[in-house]
């Protein structure tokens, strides 16, 4: 039975009826969730790390320690297991299968330490607990999988780089977080249309009525009604064409919708003021304002800033600044900044044409968080 075969399954011999009940029930919680990252390369954005597509990946701007990605599951969940599918970007060292001669892995290339990392969890995106510590990893685990002894409750999961062995960037194909067995729901789709190709009976196209709120669908099929052991998993669609049938027999089909008990992250388009580069300021994890960068305007002011922990970021990109702003920094008189800093370089391609700066200016009841675009003359 291939249903949910790339989700956690029991070892052979654990379940008495392994054909029909070998799936643990641990759902994929991280798919299409909101991701915050330390940095990104153009074309390799954060969303790639939760899209369930092995042809894409997120890449940080460097391979340095402390490059990170944080997944917001949207609500507190029961987490049972975590899988990390690492990738290689701008690799300068070959290792593992097919690298060099002699025994595989570190002995073949002289690498004593492989991809090293930590995984932390949090309920509020501020206070973190260590869940997985592989800062000195000596095992080549490109698809590292950790099943927790006991489930943990958390909303945020942070993966942080400790060491990148290939001299390239810190890159992740997918961070997969599994859990919520008690919150998961499954329902059989009643309206399913199957059209088998008259030109090639190995092909069949299925179309079904979408189920509101479903994370995805399992399309099961077989030559006997009670033995639908072949299956495909479908995300983001309500149709599939199967090309793997035998010509002779008739087939039976069934479509099952599944839901992890969490919602996909969707951009708050009602608060987006047009297309283009946008930036947002959040306090204690909640966005307070978003602004669009416009041609010819070089200063942007976030007003009425009160004490708290703030995050400034590109709306669809990396975090540019994070820190706590205190009463002493925000309340006062005069125009002298209490906090200043350089957020990012500006330019086209690799040509730098300016800098994005920030400053905090105090006020009578609240301060101002000011972003300045300074271009070279």
Q: What pLDDT does 290 receive?
A: 78
Q: Counting beta carbons within 10 angstroms of the beta carbon of residue 200, is it exposed (0 to 12), middle (13 to 18) or buried (19 or more)? A: exposed
The b/e string for 237-273 (b: 16+ C-beta within 10 A; e otherwise) is ebebebeebeeeeebebbbbbbbbbbeebeeeeeeee
Burial (CB < 10 A; 0-12, 13-18, 19+), residue 211, is buried
Note whether 324 and 309 are within 8 A (CB): yes
- The candidate with the shortest Cα–Cα distance to 104, out of 140, 143, 137, is 140
Compute the distance between CA of residue 176 and CA of residue 170 in angstroms, rounded to an integer: 17
In terms of C-beta density within 10 A (0-12 exposed, 13-18 middle, 19 or more buried), how is residue 132 classed? middle
Contacts of 187 (CB under 8 A, 6+ apart): 211, 256, 257
Mean of pLDDT values over 64-75: 96
Q: What is the pLDDT of residues 288-307, one digit of tens each?
A: 887 877 767 788 999 999 99
Examine the pLDDT at 147 and tell me if it is beyond 90.
yes
Q: Is the pLDDT of residue 217 over 70?
A: yes
The pLDDT of residue 157: 98
- Backbone dihedral region for residue 166 (phi beyond 0: left; psi -120 to 50: alpha; all else: beta): alpha
Average pLDDT over residues 253-260: 96
Q: Give yes or no for residue 214 having a pLDDT over 70.
A: yes
Structural tokens at position 336: 């002298």
Residue range 270-282, pLDDT digits in tens:
333 333 457 889 8
Tally of CB atoms within 10 A around 309: 14
Q: What is the dihedral of CA 36, 25, 206, 200, to 10 degrees?
A: 110
For residue 18, the 8-state DSSP code is H
Name the residue with higher pLDDT: 268 or 265: 265
User: Distance from CA of residue 83 to its chain's centroid?
Assistant: 12
The whole-number pLDDT of residue 108 equals 42
- The domains found in the chain, sorted by start residue, are 26-179 (2.60.120.260), 185-259 (2.60.40.10), 269-375 (no CATH)
- Is pLDDT of 60 > 60? yes
| β-pairing verdict for 192-196 and 204-208 | antiparallel
Indicate whether 184 pLDDT > 60.
Answer: yes
Average pLDDT over all residues of the chain: 87
For the stretch 312-315, contacts whose Cβ atoms lie closer than 8 Å and that sit 24 or more positions apart, written own/partner, are 312/279, 312/280, 312/281, 312/282, 312/343, 312/358, 312/369, 312/371, 313/36, 313/279, 313/280, 313/282, 314/277, 314/278, 314/279, 315/267, 315/272, 315/278, 315/279, 315/280, 315/290
- The pLDDT, as a whole number, for residue 105 is 41
Q: Tell me what the mean pLDDT of segment 113-139 comes to.
A: 95
Residue 326: per-residue pLDDT: 95
pLDDT of residue 235: 93
Residue with tokens 């196209």: 205
User: Running DSSP on this structure, what letter comes out for residue 301?
Assistant: E
């Amino acid at each position: 039975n291939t249903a949910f075969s790339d989700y956690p399954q029991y070892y052979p011999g654990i379940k008495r009826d392994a054909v029909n009940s070998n799936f643990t029930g641990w759902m994929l919680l991280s798919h299409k969730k909101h991701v915050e990252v330390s940095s990104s390369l153009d074309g390799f954005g954060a969303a790639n790390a939760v899209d369930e597509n092995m042809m894409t990946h997120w890449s940080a701007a460097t391979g340095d320690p402390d490059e990170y990605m944080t997944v917001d599951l949207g609500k507190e969940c029961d987490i049972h297991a975590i899988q990390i599918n690492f990738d290689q970007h701008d690799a300068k060292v070959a290792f593992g299968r097919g690298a060099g001669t002699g025994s595989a892995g570190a002995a073949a290339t002289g690498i004593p330490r492989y991809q090293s990392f930590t995984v932390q969890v949090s309920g509020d995106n501020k206070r973190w607990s260590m869940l997985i510590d592989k800062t000195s990893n000596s095992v080549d685990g490109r698809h590292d999988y950790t099943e927790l002894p006991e489930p943990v409750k958390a909303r945020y999961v942070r993966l942080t780089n400790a060491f990148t062995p290939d001299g390239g960037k810190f890159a992740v194909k997918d961070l997969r977080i599994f859990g919520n067995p008690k919150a998961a729901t499954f329902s059989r789709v009643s309206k399913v249309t199957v059209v088998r190709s008259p030109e090639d009976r190995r092909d069949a196209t299925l179309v079904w009525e979408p189920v509101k709120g479903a994370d995805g669908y399992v399309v099961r099929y077989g030559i006997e009604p009670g033995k639908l052991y072949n299956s495909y998993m479908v995300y983001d669609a309500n149709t599939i064409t199967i090309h793997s049938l035998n010509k002779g027999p008739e087939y039976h089909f069934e479509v099952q919708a599944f839901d992890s008990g969490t919602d996909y992250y969707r951009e708050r388009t009602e608060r987006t003021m047009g297309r283009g580069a946008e930036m947002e300021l959040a306090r204690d994890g909640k966005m307070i304002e978003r602004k669009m960068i416009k041609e010819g305007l070089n200063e942007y002011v976030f007003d009425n800033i009160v004490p708290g922990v703030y995050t400034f970021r590109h709306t669809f990109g990396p975090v540019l600044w994070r820190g706590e702003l205190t009463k002493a920094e925000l309340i006062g008189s005069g125009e002298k900044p209490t906090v200043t800093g350089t957020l990012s370089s500006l330019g086209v391609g690799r040509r730098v044409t300016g800098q994005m700066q920030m400053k905090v200016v105090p006020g009578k009841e609240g301060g101002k968080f000011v972003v300045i675009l300074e271009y070279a003359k």
